[in-house]
């Protein structure tokens, strides 16, 4: 079943599978901003990454002396959520730990996704509650993909990435599927970056971020653009498949990150991991704005 919210500017639809955003359309122009999925390039659209972001070393981790196995980006994107229509412009999805999740992730949790439209913006909210009897550790993040070219006209390399604030950010290189945390460099995000295929030849661009940040996909050949923003998330990934010439770019706000090359596999020591005490709740929001 497709769930829909809309206002005078936008219409957004979602799936109970993964609580995933499926479509984001500007009502005046009919432009679809969200990548619609194609397994030739990437079959998903905007999955929620939980309880891990990125890949674990050898697809496994250890906690309190026990080893658990889990694939890239965790399991939430493949779980069926319970939906609740809050209003015409607001929708929530709920996922609770169960016997199957506890086999691979030994924490009892509630995951709440909230989507709300306001003017030309879609707010994407993440809530994580520890309902177990011990502290829990987790990561969470977004993975929305946007059509490039946005309006179906022009070329991929007609577009550029614009960063705000215009300042350099620490860039975390990848060594295969893992982050090389010991070889950070200063990324040139103080200026616009042209979108080229070669930009992604080493996989995603990953930056550490502090405070309010926004990332826009724009072109001088169209007035249509899309911007992802947040107030306080520690990482962002920007990705498009390579060498395949996929017509989309992902802008991914993360509270967590893939394992590092140097990772021991111990969950408590994992780079970027979040901790919740019993009964505590985590909350974070990012926004997608179209023009």
Assess whether the previous peptide bond of 243 is cis (omega < 30° from 0): yes
Residue 27: the pLDDT is: 97
Query: What phi and psi values does residue 160 have, to the nearest 5 degrees?
Result: -140, 160
Nearest to 215 by CA among 197, 189, 196: 189
Assess whether the previous peptide bond of 149 is cis (omega < 30° from 0): yes
Residue 208: the pLDDT is: 97
Give dist(CA 147, CA 282) in Å, integer: 31
Neighbours of 80 (CB within 10 A): 12
Residue by residue, DSSP assigns 133-194 as SS-EEE-EEE--EEESSTTS-S-GGGEEEEEES-S-EEE--EETTEE-TTS-EEE-TTS-EE
Distance of CA 278 to the CA centre of its chain: 26
| Burial of residue 113 (number of CB atoms within 10 Å: 0-12, 13-18, 19+) | buried
CA-to-CA separations, 263 to 22, 138, 205, 273, in angstroms, rounded = 34, 16, 20, 12
Give dist(CA 130, CA 126) in Å, integer: 13
Instruction: Spell out the residues 6+ positions from residue 99 whose beta carbon is closer than 8 angstroms to its own.
Output: none
Per-residue pLDDT of the chain (291 residues; tens, 9 = 90+): 789 999 999 999 999 999 999 999 999 999 999 999 999 999 999 999 999 999 999 999 999 999 999 999 999 999 999 999 999 999 999 999 999 999 999 999 999 999 999 999 999 999 999 999 999 999 999 999 999 999 988 999 999 999 999 999 999 999 988 999 999 999 999 999 999 999 999 999 999 999 999 999 999 999 999 999 999 999 999 999 999 999 999 999 999 999 999 999 999 999 999 999 999 999 999 999 999
Residue 1: the pLDDT is: 73
- Reduced to 3 states (helix: H, G, I; strand: E, B; else coil), residue 86 is strand
How does 200-231 read in b/e, with b if 16+ C-beta sit within 10 Å? beebbbbbbbeeebbbbbbbeebebbbbbbbe
State the virtual CA torsion across 253, 254, 255, 257 in degrees, nearest 10.
Answer: -160
What phi-psi label fits residue 54: left (phi over 0), alpha (psi between -120 and 50 degrees) or beta? left
Give dist(CA 128, CA 136) in Å, integer: 10
Q: What is the CATH number of domain 2-290?
A: 2.70.98.10
Neighbours of 240 (CB within 10 A): 26
């Amino acid at each position: 079943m497709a769930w829909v919210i809309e206002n005078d500017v936008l219409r957004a639809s979602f799936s109970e599978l993964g609580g995933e955003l499926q479509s984001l359309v500007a009502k005046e122009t009919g432009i679809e901003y969200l990548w619609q999925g194609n397994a030739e390039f990437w079959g998903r659209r905007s999955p929620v990454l939980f309880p891990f972001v990125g890949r674990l070393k050898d697809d496994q981790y250890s906690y309190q002396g026990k080893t658990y196995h889990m694939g890239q980006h965790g399991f939430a994107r493949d779980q069926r959520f319970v939906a609740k229509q809050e209003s015409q412009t607001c929708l929530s999805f709920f996922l609770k730990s169960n016997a199957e999740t506890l086999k691979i992730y030994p924490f009892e949790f509630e995951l709440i996704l909230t989507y709300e439209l306001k003017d030309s913006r879609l707010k994407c909210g993440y809530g994580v509650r520890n309902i177990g009897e011990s502290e829990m550790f987790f990561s969470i993040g977004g993975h929305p993909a946007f059509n490039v070219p946005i309006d179906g006209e022009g070329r991929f390399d007609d577009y550029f990435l614009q960063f705000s604030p215009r300042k350099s950010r620490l860039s975390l290189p990848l060594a295969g599927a893992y982050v090389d945390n010991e070889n950070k460099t200063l990324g040139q995000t103080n200026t616009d970056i042209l979108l080229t295929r070669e930009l992604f030849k080493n996989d995603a661009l990953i930056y550490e971020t502090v405070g309010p940040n926004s990332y826009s996909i724009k072109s001088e050949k169209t007035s249509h653009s899309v911007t992802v923003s947040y107030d306080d998330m520690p990482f962002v990934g920007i990705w498009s498949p390579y060498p395949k010439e996929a017509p989309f770019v992902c802008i991914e706000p993360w509270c967590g990150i893939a394992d590092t090359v140097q990772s021991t596999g111990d969950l408590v020591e994992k780079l970027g991991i979040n901790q919740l005490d019993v009964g505590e709740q985590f909350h974070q929001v990012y926004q997608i704005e179209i023009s």
